[in-house]
Chain A
């Protein structure tokens, strides 16, 4: 199966930037990702323990009856992200069942790291009020001090911690 090469990074960056600009021009708000997953988590908590969800200052903001229109907007946007990612993957011949990992790490270790990393990141994204989409890109483009602080902290911590998980990604 032949795979299409990845797009030139600057070209892909201009594409993403224009998508973000379109969100601003149309809606006056930017993009997001972690917010939509928070809506999913809040809906899950509300199904299992509705009293608990409704009494929580955190979850109740994401429940349909209280959520701001922008939270619904993010859920639709992320639904689009899933479709868009699939379209690009299919067109490039890159959709296949696989596990991305370095040459020196076992599947079970890679999946353990993926779970732990995901959990740490999920927690961090809530503390920072957003992720690479909702803070770094969206807030970065309008020069938000908090967003730039977040972005620099992400890069600094990832570089500082990279040594400890090196085996997971690179050989040698």
Chain B
């Protein structure tokens, strides 16, 4: 039964080789989607190219439905999959800071790795800047730790928060995503009649 590592099908070292292979798949699709280019990523925030939204939400929906169906078929034990714990205020503030950095720098941590390896100098500079930002956080951690650990809500999921069944939440998110995709296609047609060549 899955998750296979948790049920002892293989050890830590085999897990690390899977990490490398999974990473290759991750990097491959990021580059294929055009996420090695900051101008393509940033275009999301000027309404001209909503690829970031489409790729991210398709990925989330795909993985979410995969987990849901595998659990339904009894192949996967969902209770063994940890829901990332919520620290509401620091995650909200962290997200706002991250968003400003995203539109300024043009990359996120994974995409700047892909950009760097495909020769983008702005990707390398972004990568160095990111490590400086992490170092700054590390040095300030003694004064930040109280805020960092505030508003802890544990492993809270949307279905629990809303008091609805897991399957209903999954269904609602699929509907929301489909509506979002329809809207994204409409916006792109209106604002960017000429699709930028790739």
Please give the residue numbers on chain A whose beta carbons come within 8 Å of chain B beta carbons, in ascending order.
3, 5-7, 9-10, 12-31, 33-34, 37-38, 40-42, 44-45, 56-59, 69, 72-74, 76-89, 92, 94-102, 110-111, 113-162, 165-166, 168-170
Contact = CB atoms under 8 A, between A and B. Distances in A.
A58 B181 CA distance: 40
A151 B131 contact: no
14 contacts: A13-B58, A17-B59, A42-B138, A82-B114, A82-B117, A86-B118, A96-B118, A114-B122, A114-B129, A119-B133, A135-B84, A137-B56, A150-B95, A153-B94
Contacts of B32: 6-7, 12, 15, 88, 92
Chain A contact residues: helix, strand, loop or mixed: helix
Contacts, number: 540
Contacts of B156: 144-146
Interface residues of B, number: 130
Interface in B15-59: 15-34, 36-40, 42-46, 48, 51, 53-59
A153 B86 CA distance: 14
A34 to B, nearest CB: 4
Contacts of A143: 64, 83, 157-159, 166, 169-170, 173
B74 interface: no
Contacts of B126: 114-115, 117-118
A121 B101 contact: yes
